[in-house]
Amino acid sequence: MVQGWAALTTGAYCWYNNDSATYEIPYGKLYNWHTVNTGKLCPIGWHVPTDAEWTILTTSLGGIGVAGGKLKETGITHWLSPNSGATNESGFTALPGGGLTGTFHYIGSFGYWWSTSELSTDEAWQRTMYYNHYYVTRTNYLKTYGLSVRCVMSL
């Protein structure tokens, strides 16, 4: 458990299990949405995608029913078996960095990525990919959760 994480209304990040030596490479950090909202996570010319940009991506890959496989890293080096449908034909190389909802969970099983789009004052949209499915889900999560972030090039 991460003390005080769920009560934060300011930006924060950590590594899975608070263990940067083991998890920083390859998974990176887990960020709360308040950090995403600063607009300062990505280098100049890049940004965290909006919910609409995530939808454009999954639609261009054939829809949410198959896009997960096209986004996930192939094999079972990081994903648990069977890593269903993983082709990484998009070059995205999605990894299952797990999440933080007060406790750490699901590394190897699930990858969660924030969007910049809010649903309400307490929740924002994110995408999830699974070790045992081809699809990508769109879900609203509490802004205090710790999820992965992917930067995309600004146009």
pLDDT tens for the chain, residues 1 to 155: 566 788 888 999 999 999 999 999 999 999 999 999 999 999 999 999 999 999 999 999 999 999 999 999 999 999 999 999 999 999 999 999 999 998 999 999 999 999 999 999 999 999 999 999 999 999 999 999 999 999 999 98
Nearest to 152 by CA among 110, 127, 126, 115: 115
HEC per residue, 55-111:
HHHHHHCCCHHHHHHHHECCCCCCCCCCCCCCCCCCCCCECCCEEECCCEECCCCEE
The DSSP symbol for 119 reads S
